Amino acid sequence: MTSFAQVVLTGDRPTGPLHLGHLAGSLLRRVELQHQFEQIVLVADLQALTDNAGRATEVSENVLQVLADYLAVGIDPSRTTIALQSALPALSELTMLYLNVVTVARLERNPTVKAEIELRDFARDIPAGFLCYPVSQAADITGFRGTLVPVGEDQLPMIEQSNEIVRRINRLAERDVLPESRPLLSITPRLSGADGRKASKSLKNVISLSATADEIRAFVASMYTDPEHKRASDPGKIEGNIVFAYLDAFDPRQDEVAELKLQYRRGGLGDVAVKARLVDVLEEVIAPIRERRSRIAGDRDYLSQVLRDGTSRAREITSSVLNDVRAVFALAPSPPD
């Protein structure tokens, strides 16, 4: 058995600015992981195009926005390699090679893709690129010999499919060319949007990481609580109560939150008071991010430089992996750029 170094690999589709759900679910985790492991973060613009071909300009404009979000929350480009997927042609070539060891039936069975197809109402008009994006994601992961992939539950089928590809390639090669990866599931459950539905920019139920104080207040005001809890004196439900879900995720004083929950359940604590607390908590979380983001977001030269540096570091790794996989398919090494 070949032993591979631990490499953390993760990515985001640049379909819009990142929001608070990303912060709790993955961004804070990455800030920690960068001190423990080699870490690569991909801005997955090609993956974003698989269901946004008509919004290419927006995707392209969001690349630097997502990068600004990363830097504002504390992902440090000297510790984390931040790279642009579309600027790494080796990943596309790997995708092409992997497609030969994946069946159409297997792609159609991927539960995440299935759910997304329904959500997007593609019916029979599924872009082939969309159906195949799990293969491209396998290229993202293996292209860096990634072994640890911090993701939410919805991404588990992607890792499973990536590992199937890894096993096929290793079997063809009769040696371990690529490592399998495993998920690092986030500890905090996925945060819902303010209305209790899936957090999504298009549903307008999320709040950006650079929200103003007024936006925070409006966001919290719109949050779904317990419809049966009409008066402060009524007993209220915590389950499905979005205000408490956000307090769980972001309030540093969890002992007080536990106390508030008891009081809310018993009756005698109004939504107005809990929401006021959440506004303060979110302001504390967002204010420093907003401030850092406003300093860097306007500096496109700096942002572009960070992305260029990260991408060129990334290119060395992906090119070497590509050559390993090309050899498995009896192809000569790729000519150098």
Positions in the binding site for ligand TRP (CB under 6 A)? 9-13, 42, 44, 47, 137, 140-141, 149, 151, 155
Rounded to a whole number of angstroms, the minimum distance from the CB of residue 25 to ligand TRP is 9
Residue closer to ligand TRP by CB (options 91, 247) is 91
Residue closer to ligand TRP by CB (options 151, 289) is 151
Report the Cα 223 to chain-centroid distance in Å. 23
- Say how many C-beta atoms besides its own lie within 10 A of residue 169's C-beta: 22
Residue closer to ligand TRP by CB (options 161, 210) is 161
Rounded to a whole number of angstroms, the minimum distance from the CB of residue 243 to ligand TRP is 26
Residue closer to ligand TRP by CB (options 85, 225) is 85
Question: Given the structure tokens 């072994």, which residue do they identify?
Answer: 147
Residue closer to ligand TRP by CB (options 61, 153) is 153
DSSP state of 108: H
Question: The tokens of 86 are what?
Answer: 């579309």
In sign, the C-alpha dihedral spanning 151, 156, 162, 168 is positive
Closest CA to 90 of 328, 336, 306: 336
Residue closest to ligand TRP when measured from CB atoms? 11
- Provide the angle, in degrees to the nearest 10, between the axes of the packed helices 133-142 and 111-120: 130
Distance CA 51, CA 285 (A): 32
Rounded to a whole number of angstroms, the minimum distance from the CB of residue 138 to ligand TRP is 9
Question: The tokens of 188 are what?
Answer: 């905090």
> What are φ and ψ of residue 42, in 5° steps?
-105, 130
> What are φ and ψ of residue 8, in 5° steps?
-90, 125
Residue closer to ligand TRP by CB (options 135, 286) is 135
Question: Given the structure tokens 């800030």, which residue do they identify?
Answer: 31
Residue closer to ligand TRP by CB (options 51, 271) is 51
Rounded to a whole number of angstroms, the minimum distance from the CB of residue 133 to ligand TRP is 7
Rounded to a whole number of angstroms, the minimum distance from the CB of residue 171 to ligand TRP is 23
Closest CA to 264 of 229, 299, 293, 240: 229
Residue closer to ligand TRP by CB (options 84, 101) is 84
- Say how many C-beta atoms besides its own lie within 10 A of residue 196's C-beta: 14
Rounded to a whole number of angstroms, the minimum distance from the CB of residue 284 to ligand TRP is 27
Closest CA to 133 of 185, 164, 95: 95
Amino acid at 112: T
Distance CA 318, CA 325 (A): 11
Residue closer to ligand TRP by CB (options 10, 225) is 10
- Say how many C-beta atoms besides its own lie within 10 A of residue 175's C-beta: 10
Rounded to a whole number of angstroms, the minimum distance from the CB of residue 26 to ligand TRP is 8
Amino acid at 105: A
